[in-house]
A and B are shown apart, each in its own frame.
Chain A
Amino acid sequence: MDFLLNTMRKIDNDQVKEHSFGNKQSLEENLAISFINPKDFDKLNLVSSLHLKISNNQRNIIVKIEKDDNVPEGTITMPVSIWSNQLTEILNDELVYKNIVVSVEATREPILKFEEIIQKIRGIE
């Protein structure tokens, strides 16, 4: 199912705070997360033990999912982080952090680890 991904700064899911005071576990706990409208949560047949695989044309990430009434239907929000930025894009030499078309599906696969992302960025797949 296609959604629009919006990345946004959230005070409780802040990457500077996690890198300064947290550890790998808290980093993943607070940043590898997405928020979705409860109606979409039901449409995707999600349950709390499942994760969400979010993909664009080139890459995908697997993150936790939480219901949030404040998120409009058809939209996923994620805190600004290394996870969400695996899916953000470039358009005319400018960065696109909002309204990125992604496809999503429920998955039992584990959350993408911070170290796995670092390895991918370094070209070690």
Chain B
Amino acid sequence: MKRYPCSGCSLLCDDIIVKSDGLFIDEVIGACLKGKERFDQVSAQNRITSPMIRKNDELINTSWEEALAKTVEIIKNSSAPLLYGFSNVTCEAQRAGMDLAREINGFIDSNASICQGKILNKAKAQGINLTTITEIINKVDLIILWGANPAETIPRLLNKVLFSRGKFRMTGREIKTLVIIDPVKTASFNVMGVRDLALIIEPDKDIELIQMLKEECCSADSIPSGGVAGVDKNDLKRLLLHLTGAENGVIILGQGVIQPHADYDLMEELLDLLQLINTRQVKGRISLLLLGGHFNMAGFDHVALSSYGVSGKLQFESKKLVKSEDTIISKINKENFDCSIIVGTDPISHLPHSLSSKLAKKPLILIDNHNSATSRIADIVLPTAITGIESSGLAYRIDQVPVELKKILNPPNNIPSDEELLNQLIEKLNGGAK
């Protein structure tokens, strides 16, 4: 039995015990439901283990030679390829994806740009206090889940940060206050104790709460008697006391807060509030942790920044990085692409119909290891090994800490890793030389 990091989600738990003879996984101990599902994917009934190509409107198994030749043909016929996904692959594969995008003068972006990457980009303008899981375990006395439901998205996060005993504190859960701000009473509410604060806010009224907190920050005297956004006055007073009295607090942000609005920017308002609290707070500080589900969602920005000096999306022309105002959304929306290479994600499921229907109109090459809605419309499907089980590499945890994923088994049919496959494509496009 050996200890391995888990690639089931972006928490990358490094305490999972796996019993394996190198051919099969016999036992997995300590993984959550998502982690167990990740290990079960090795033998999932809908696993893709052979390349497939669409003929007569049906995806059929084919040889690697034919699949790669057809892929190269599509790419060579393309003048505006789009590369998207890359949050479920290693940093090495992300780098290979960027190299491929440069080689074929493409636009590349990751799932982070429609998720946690959005707030990171906004935070650049005014600075941001991020924190690490270890900091939260050791020091935090206030945890605020705002529009976030880690109990169902990052299942072991609360085990680690809430039910833990910090190195620098005499006590653990007893001194940690949990505040949840959400319009829906999610599964995360089930861990709340008597001293915690559940704030069921009216849907789409976060802005009212933030503006009140900004106005009343450090002073609870003039909170409207009727409360704000459906939250009771006394609860608001308690929230203010926690925000201004915590020695070390963290706001864990989920999708609920990073939604766009026509008249205001909720994320900027929240970042302003954070700055305000930290300026006025004499005792401690509040930091942020951004929830992103895919196991290496944080990695893409690190790789883009270290490789090309910019974070997020990259547009290449004449094999050079150029400035572009486009986003993955605007590219697809304006149909400013003529083929797509989708890596480790399922945009046909997770994008709105107006975008998925445009993506489906153009040739689509999918690199993934299991069936999805995207594989149902793909022209070519190239299977890869399951990262963190059948291939190794670096990934960035939810709190931007790098974790080395390890290989436990060989993949079936000697299918390549994402990195190997992307490098093979570059070689084929170059007629054999990388």
A residues near B (Cβ < 8 Å) are: 4, 6, 8-11, 15-17, 19-22, 58-59, 69-72, 74-75, 77, 80-82, 85-99, 114, 117-118, 120-123
Closest to B371 in A: A19
For A20, list chain B residues within 8 Å (CB): 37, 40-41, 44, 46-47, 370-371
In the bound complex, residues from chain A placing their C-beta under 8 Å from that of B377 are: 118, 121-122
Shortest distance from the beta carbon of A119 to any chain B beta carbon, whole Å: 10
Decide: A19 and B203 in contact? CB cutoff 8 A: no
Chain B residues in 8 Å Cβ range of A98? 203-204, 255-256, 259
Given A20-B37, A82-B349, A85-B352, A8 contacting B149 (CB threshold 8 A): yes
User: A9–B149 contact, CB under 8 A?
Assistant: yes
Interface residues of B in 319-360 (CB under 8 A from A): 327, 329-330, 333, 346, 348-357, 360
Between A15, A59, A96, A121, the greatest number of chain B beta carbons within 10 A of the residue's beta carbon is seen for A121
Total chain B interface residues with beta-carbon distance under 8 A: 56
Decide if B260 touches A92 in the complex (CB within 8 Å). yes
On whether the beta carbons of A74 and B203 are closer than 8 Å, the reply is: yes
Tell yes or no: B238 within 8 A of A by CB.
no
B residues less than 8 Å from A77 (CB atoms):
184
Q: Which are the 10 A-B pairs with shortest beta-carbon distances?
A: A70-B185, A94-B260, A99-B204, A11-B152, A88-B352, A82-B349, A20-B44, A20-B370, A91-B260, A93-B329
In the complex, what distance in Å separates the CA atom of A11 from the CA atom of B293? 12
Cα–Cα, bound, A91→B46 (Å): 35
Given A20-B37, A82-B349, A93-B329, A70 contacting B203 (CB threshold 8 A)? no
Which residues of B161-190 are within 8 A (CB) of A?
183-187, 189
Contact B37 A17 (CB under 8 A): yes
Flag if A4 contacts B349 (CB, 8 Å): no
Given A9-B149, A17-B37, A122-B377, the answer on whether A93 and B353 have CB atoms closer than 8 Å is no
Q: Are A11 and B34 neighbours in the complex by a CB distance under 8 Å?
A: yes
B309 to chain A, nearest CB (A): 23
Contact of A93 (CB < 8 Å), options: B44, B333, B372? B333
- Across the interface, do B329 and A85 meet the contact criterion of CB distance under 8 Å? no
Q: What would be 17 A-B contacts, judged by CB atoms less than 8 Å apart?
A: A6-B183, A8-B255, A11-B151, A11-B152, A19-B370, A75-B184, A75-B203, A85-B349, A87-B353, A90-B355, A95-B114, A96-B260, A97-B255, A98-B255, A98-B256, A118-B377, A120-B353
Q: Are A81 and B349 in contact (CB under 8 A)?
A: yes
Residues of A close to B260: CB separation below 8 A: 91-92, 94-96
Chain B residues, Cβ within 8 Å of A122? 357, 360, 377
Known contacts A11-B152, A94-B329; decide if A72 and B371 are in contact (CB<8 Å). no
Decide: B353 and A59 in contact? CB cutoff 8 A: yes
* Inter-subunit contact A94/B183 (CB<8 Å): no
- The reply to whether B203 and A8 form a contact with Cβ atoms under 8 Å apart is no
B376 interface residue, CB < 8 Å from A? yes
